[in-house]
Amino acid sequence: MDALSRLLENIHLYETKFYYLEGYGEWSYALNTDAANTIVFYLVVEGSCCIEVMGAKRQADMGEIIMISNTHKHLAHSLNNRVALEQADELLLRSGVQTIEINKGAGTISVKLVLIVCDYDKELMRPLLRWLPHILPDQKPFSDENSELLNMGVEILRIESCNERIGKSAMINRMASIILIDCMRTYIEDLPEVTDNWLIALKDPYLAKALAVMHNAPETSWTIHKLAEIAGMSRSSFAERFKQTVGMPPLTYLIDYRLRLAARHLRLQQHSISQISTLVGYASDSTFSQAFKRIYGLSPRSYRQQFRIANPH
């Protein structure tokens, strides 16, 4: 299995909420989804719109989708209006899945959108999302060979969003996850050969092999020598190439991934702390606890208890 597949294997979007939006005339609104672990998708059903996030701007036309990857405050507007006429946060909270009308009374409907808001496990996705642009696709449009699957996903998403069928939320959840993966891999495939974005390592013919095995078997006692052997490089060349590309030494990266994976297991509360310690490659519970506390500031037990209190159900 390739490195990106391994990286994304435990990543799923959940708690999907979807809204129908209709903009009238020269419409606009600001939206803050009020969550740091949220990904937002816009599907343009009719018309065109612009989305602006942290200085980045992207136009989308009918049949296209925009993904807001790593921030939760943005401005949506018609092509000629950038002044926020409404704050949409409360409208979404009140609406459920009903249609939200923006600037009604200012003319005819100029756009129809489906807004999809998904939660994700921020610890596992942090290394990916922090290096993605705020808006994907980051250029318009994707090349033809990369857009076919995305277009199919958008069409399925449009059909599901516009019809009431049992299992609708589950379908939208899964389609959003598929579209997330397709947007991410297309972005990575299109990265220039010279870049400071560590995601380029996922398509590096040498480093990708090492990343794949680390994510496939994080419990293994990997050494620089063994990883270099898998990558097909000398030990020194591999260590230098990995550090320059990823921004940290290979074993530092492995420890970071192990602890992020451990945090996920602790939140899921399906294994004992001793079992989690073994799953992520620590020889003893005390060594695991010390390593976890250095990163998260809490012991594994306290971290799990804190999460249980914050999420009693």
Report CA-CA distances (Å) from 307 to 3, 86, 225, 298, 304. 30, 35, 38, 12, 5
pLDDT above 50: residue 143:
no
Domain extents in the chain: 3-189, 204-310
User: What's at 101, amino acid-wise?
Assistant: E
Angle between helices 235-246 and 224-231 (to 10 degrees): 90
pLDDT above 50: residue 312:
no
Give the residue with greater pLDDT, 1 vs 97.
1
For residue 71, give both structure tokens. 């921030």
Mapped onto helix, strand or coil, the DSSP state of residue 87 is: strand
C-alpha span between 49 and 85 (Å, rounded):
15
Number of H helices, E strands in the chain: 12, 10
- Residue 222 CB contacts under 8 Å (≥ 6 apart), including other chains: 213, 214, 250, 251, 254
Report CA-CA distances (Å) from 93 to 32, 39, 96, 158, 259. 11, 17, 7, 22, 35
C-alpha span between 137 and 149 (Å, rounded):
14
pLDDT tens track for 98-131: 678 888 777 788 899 888 888 777 777 777 777 8
C-alpha span between 133 and 129 (Å, rounded):
8
CB 162 within 8 A of CB 46: no
Per CATH, the number for 204-310 is 1.10.10.60
pLDDT tens track for 61-84: 887 888 887 766 888 898 887 666
pLDDT band at 253, cuts 50/70/90? very high
| Average pLDDT of the segment spanning 235-259 | 95
Give me the pLDDT at residue 207, please: 94
CB 63 within 8 A of CB 154: yes
Residue of 242, 311, 304, 244 whose CA lies nearest to 275: 304
For 189-199, give one letter per residue: b (16+ CB within 10 A) or e: eeeeeeeeebb
Mapped onto helix, strand or coil, the DSSP state of residue 232 is: coil
Tell me the percentage of the chain whose pLDDT exceeds 90. 31
C-alpha span between 234 and 115 (Å, rounded):
49
The fold adopted by the segment(s) 3-189 is Jelly Rolls (2.60.120)
CB 272 within 8 A of CB 132: no
Q: List 47's β-bridge partners, or say none.
A: 111
